[in-house]
Amino acid sequence: MQSSQNTQNYSEDAIRTLDWKEHIRKRPGMYIGKLGDGTYADDGIYVLLKEVMDNSIDEYMMGHGKKIDVTVEEGRVTVRDYGRGIPLGKVIDVASKMNTGAKYDSKAFKKSVGLNGVGIKAVNALSIDFIVEAFREGQSKRVEFSCGEVVTEHDLQATHEGNGTFIEFLPDSAVFETFKFQDEYIDALLKNYTYLNKGLVINFNGKVFQSKNGLLDLLHENMSAPELYPIIHLVDEDLEIAITHGNQYGEEYYTFVNGQHTTHGGTHLIAFREAIVKTIRDYYNKNFDISDIRTGIIAAVSIKIEEPVFESQTKTKLGSKDVGPNGPSVRNFMMDFVTEKLDNFLHKHQESADILYRKILDSEKERKAISGIKKLARERAKKVSLHNKKLRDCRVHFTSNKELKLESSLFITEGDSASGSITKARNVNTQAVFSLKGKPLNSYGLTRKVVYENEEFNLLQAALDIEEGLETLRYNQVIIATDADVDGMHIRLLLITFFLQFFPELVKNGHLYILQTPLFRVRNKKKTIYCYSDEERQKAIKKLGTKPEITRFKGLGEISPDEFKYFIGEDIRLEPVRIKREVAIKDLLEFYMGKNTPDRQNFIINNLVVEEDLVE
């Protein structure tokens, strides 16, 4: 009977076809990744800006227009390029008809970023206001949209404006709710465009971005540690590479395809890492361990290929195996370039070659020094994991689900009470808990050996599975969940020091967060409001109207599991741990965690803020 009922419900009336606007608005994640509110660099509002910019950059790459003007004010974005301008009779089609664009003609856009004709339509559909105006040969065509629907189509007008395209959009708050553009992320996005397009000038809210030396400038601006030898800069028509080494741990890469920042790498990064190892082994005629060669490497790679295939609409990972329909494989193209150019450079610059050689030997020496304790450390980590003493794991892990965009989280907690509350309140599918035993060691200035000798560090590394780098990272979000008191802040600082010292790429790639938990609970008989600041507390008191009950949470252990589920669910508040580009990690750690007590003492005295008790 039940089966018959289901069959009756599943009829022709149950089948529905969404038009392009409805589909984008109903499934925005398919087109722009996560929505977000502007807190993180990969939030949807920045993808909208990037989609518009990509079209302007493609014009520049084809030799049209030398500058782009960008403004962002109160959430409204304008982009004006000086390329050829959209053909006036196709302005509506380009902005509102899927699979429409010039980039299907590979002759017009041989090495373009956007190939599927979707990006600008997604911006249109997800904006409450969207204006596109094209200027060509003394005439202009302007069309105004709202959520993908044409609001006003203006007639052709005579104009004195130079050729190009103007786009203005305001993201729809019905989709993005509250959002705010952060200049820090926009600056980084626009600077990358100039590094990859020497000669291009981008004006943004009164700031001017341009680059004379391409990826050389990018590395100089972004390196987290001083270079051991002058940056090696290798340039060809379709491939540009900048390489050096520092004394930090891990590997640091900035990779691009046709101007697109591929933050998750892809076939070009795999090929580059392989080519570096082969070239250096051949040059020194020594079979160095891969990790000894690549530890401390800082490199930027930009490749141009025809009709690139990315693994998602947001284009963060290259999937192409070949550089073009009739070209060599990405691997062979990269291998040939690096083995020839880098080998030639090392032969001509003996001083740099000697420094690199000493760096590899130092890495080898350190690796061998800890090799004896690594096996014991791994066995210890495995035994503890089996007995589930430190880690309450989840069922879904980041590495096995990257393509599905399923995120998993690891909460690092202090003490049994906080660990117990989060464990009981968590989503067992995607949220894991790692319980600390007291305060971790101050790892600043110590070598990698301590990661294996110290039980807490060794078990944390094993839980994350990052011994060999981020490629095997099991959790997309690593969340420090400590009390908002002096001890909790100290533990937080020690953990951040550990990650910056030994796994800086975890921080640089946006995986480390601080869990924000409420300071107050304000409630009456009808309603409960959780407040994360005194300002929110005051608003809650006014909103409830009566004299409510106010509770000040002093620690995570005081929050019951029933309450905790509200703070680590859909409304979780996470503060990303970010390092400003101009800050050197070594100097940062030296100041806060080193032995420069007088300097730090003076800093504390000069920046001391006495906070009154917030509870009346």
Per residue in 105-120, pLDDT (tens digit) is 444 445 555 544 568 8
pLDDT of residue 98: 66
Show Cβ contacts of residue 552 under 8 Å, excluding neighbours closer than 6 positions: 519, 520, 614, 615
Show Cβ contacts of residue 490 under 8 Å, excluding neighbours closer than 6 positions: 439
Q: Which CATH class is domain 22-209?
A: alpha beta
Distance between CA atoms of residues 285 and 32, nearest Å: 47
Chain region(s) in the chain for CATH 3.30.565.10 = 22-209
pLDDT of residue 143: 93
Chain region(s) in the chain for CATH 3.40.50.670 = 388-517+553-584
Neighbour tally for 382: CB within 10 Å: 11
Question: Mind listing the pLDDT tens digit for each residue in 315-330?
Answer: 778 887 887 777 789 8
pLDDT of residue 351: 96
Chain region(s) in the chain for CATH 3.30.230.10 = 215-365
Q: Which CATH class is domain 388-517+553-584?
A: alpha beta
Q: What are phi and psi of 401, to 5 degrees?
A: -135, 25
What number does CATH give the domain 215-365?
3.30.230.10
pLDDT of residue 41: 81
Largest Cα span, the chain: 83
pLDDT of residue 449: 87
DSSP structural state of residue 108 = T
Provide the token pair at 346: 């090392």
Distance between CA atoms of residues 273 and 299, nearest Å: 10
Provide the token pair at 440: 């971790």
pLDDT of residue 46: 92
Distance between CA atoms of residues 445 and 593, nearest Å: 9
Q: Note the pTM of the prediction, 2 decimals.
A: 0.75
Provide the token pair at 263: 């933050």
Residues of the chain falling short of pLDDT 50: 1-2, 10, 14-16, 104-109, 115-116, 401-405, 611-616
By percentage, how much of the chain surpasses pLDDT 90? 38
